Amino acid sequence: MPATIIQSDTTPFEKKAIDPVTLDIIENALRNARIEMDATLVRTAMSPGIREQGDAFPLIADHEGRMIVGQFGSFIGGFLEGYNGTLEDGDMIFLSDPYSVGGAISHCNDWLVLLPVFKDGRLLAYTAMFGHQSDIGGKVPGSMPIDATNIFQEGVRIPPVKIWKKGVYNEDLVKLVLHQSRTPAWCAADLNALIASCRVAARRVIEMSERFGVDTYVSATQELLARNHRAMKTLLAQAISEEPVSFEDYICDDGMGYGPYKLKCTMWREGDTVILDFDGTDPQSQASINFLLNENMFKMFFGIYMIMVFDPQILFNDGFYDLIEVRIPEGSLLKPRYPAALSGRTHALGRIFDILGGLLGQKTPEFLNAAGFSSSPHLFYAGTDKKGDWFQLFQIGFGGIPGRPMGDGPDGHSLWPGFTNVPNEFLERYFPLVIERYETVADSGGAGLHRGGNGIVMTYRFLEPGVIAIHDDRWFVPPWGVNGGKPGARARKILEKPDGSQTIVGNKVEDVAIEAGDVLHFITWGGGGWGDPLERDPELVGKEIRQGLVTPAGAKAYGVVADGEGVVDLAATEALRAEIRAGRGDLPLFDYGPGIETLRANCEAETGLPAPIQPRWANYAIAAE
């Protein structure tokens, strides 16, 4: 049954004509309210994942649950359809189970708070915020076991419940949930931060409705949605062909020895509607790399990508959703069947953006992006220090951003808006470790007219024994280049003992025991290059040699001859470029590097790790039963 909205005043809102000035004021007030939600969150939260890195996502929606401002799109429509309960003034919903909201949050670490906003007895809006909790129980510190085979191993699952009911706080519920966590103080502070953020936004919505009138405020939100619809309708007609185009990419492995896993999407337009069909995507994994992709979330991803590439001036909201149809096969890696594990979904989540880049640029190569977002590297470090106190680190690392039509990809950066790195000083102050290196990896970005961003190396020296876990990807299948650009370098992880001996460790590992003095070299992938490397300015390549971004040997990929000081030999460069041009054929639209079977055959020699084994879906089905 759908949710029952209890209102003491059910008078319909009256549609008002909105002049451009009033619309602009309300639009920017909503933008500011969204920013204030973020500011409230980081000033109140305690965990480094939220406070330092900003791993949380705000939302302000209209009275029907459609996002007006936010980032991940609105889940509220689907929630209202499936929530068998009431919503009234003074209520607040709390949840973390992805299956309860069709994947609007993608794993149980994401705690979500939803606040319906009432004014004089009428439902006026919704505000919501979800953020990643550092630990929610489960089999491993951090609650993201890459080897989980079902969601019950991933910590506490919270169905949609009322944390506030008619203005009364459900303290016993919160005590029960926090009791499951290894870091209850952080979780309590982060939960309060989510609640405070929603209340701040609700207050701003009420203030706007009082200043302009409720009917004017509601009419303005509807016009913002309609304006976005008109803009996207025009943009889609111009940029998306009726002829289908397909693209596929791979998640390297599942952390249990199997891989790679294919993600495939085909796109075409039928009239005003764009179809995005994931038929051909591999079946779900027995491990936790599954990603329960919410259709509305993907519509928002698609819309954001379209807007940022083709027309960045458009304010994105949910107004265009009826122009997009998303088809995801049941039982696939992107629509796994309950109770499939989901905690390692970050790799598929990142790879979705690479697939969008490959889809949207095929008909318009000048707008094509290379691969590079690819994943969201995670490091976990936990143990008990000399004082007997439990410590637990969850940190998100960054890779190389892809080369783009407008320039180079940033080095060691996050593609997520608002994400920042955890300062080394913070890490060393609050955790028993020392950061010995934090720098870009020269030559790891794919060569091109516009260079792919370099990956980074962070070298951690651990001062206390404990366990670490690593979740990363792009170690087997490299990030591809476009328009003649070259692939980026792959990720790798090296564990070094105090005696200097080194071991290559996997990019998806759990419960790796470490001793005091052990060193981890955490190296991420680079972004693919964009355009012909031989067209890059040789003096720019020389400058990058001086900056440590490119080596003299790496400069040869651009046909540039330079010394260790970055001084370019122009005559030798012209000769080398002529030689390279004479020996190559037409530049490929996509440069994926070697094929899968070649990568498999060369894997151990090139990476130090055994090649992943092709998944056997029949065995997975038997295991699931």
| Domain residue limits, the chain | 4-231, 240-293+328-532+587-607
The C-alpha angle 319, 324, 329, rounded to 5 degrees, equals 135
pLDDT higher than threshold 90 for residue 313: no
pLDDT higher than threshold 70 for residue 258: yes
Distances, alpha carbon 342 to alpha carbons 286, 306, 553, in Å: 10, 27, 42
| pLDDT more than 70, % of the chain | 97
Burial of 368 (0-12, 13-18, 19+ CB in 10 A): buried
The predicted pLDDT at position 623 comes to: 39
pLDDT (average), residues 262-271: 97
pLDDT higher than threshold 80 for residue 447: yes
Report whether 392 contacts 183 (CB < 8 A).
yes
Distance in angstroms (rounded) separating the CA atoms of residues 148 and 80: 30
| pLDDT more than 90, % of the chain | 84
Report whether 93 contacts 10 (CB < 8 A).
no
Q: What mean pLDDT value characterizes the chain? A: 94
Distance in angstroms (rounded) separating the CA atoms of residues 551 and 567: 12
pLDDT higher than threshold 90 for residue 101: no
HEC string of 546-597 equals: HHCCCCCCHHHHHCCCECCCCCECHHHHHHHHHHHHHHCCCCCCEECCCCHH
pLDDT (average), residues 556-562: 98
pLDDT (average), residues 409-426: 86
The predicted pLDDT at position 2 comes to: 83
Confidence band (pLDDT; 50, 70, 90) for 1?
low
The predicted pLDDT at position 212 comes to: 98
pLDDT (average), residues 537-557: 98
The predicted pLDDT at position 150 comes to: 97
Report whether 262 contacts 282 (CB < 8 A).
yes
pLDDT higher than threshold 90 for residue 621: no
pLDDT (average), residues 113-132: 97
pLDDT higher than threshold 90 for residue 453: yes
pLDDT (average), residues 520-534: 97
Burial of 55 (0-12, 13-18, 19+ CB in 10 A): buried
pLDDT higher than threshold 50 for residue 120: yes
Distance in angstroms (rounded) separating the CA atoms of residues 132 and 49: 7
pLDDT higher than threshold 50 for residue 125: yes
> Greater confidence, 74 or 237?
237
pLDDT higher than threshold 60 for residue 32: yes
The predicted pLDDT at position 618 comes to: 57
The predicted pLDDT at position 71 comes to: 79
pLDDT higher than threshold 60 for residue 622: no
pLDDT (average), residues 131-153: 96
User: How far apart, in Å, do the first and last CA atoms of the chain sit?
Assistant: 29
Six-digit token string for 155: 């910590």
pLDDT (average), residues 40-59: 92
Residue among 278, 405, 418, 420 at smallest CA distance from 351:
278
Confidence band (pLDDT; 50, 70, 90) for 297?
confident
> Greater confidence, 237 or 73?
237
Report whether 486 contacts 530 (CB < 8 A).
no
Give the number of other Cβ atoms within 10 Å of residue 81's Cβ: 12
**pTM for the predicted model, two decimal places:** 0.94
Distance in angstroms (rounded) separating the CA atoms of residues 517 and 432: 11
Distance in angstroms (rounded) separating the CA atoms of residues 326 and 50: 31
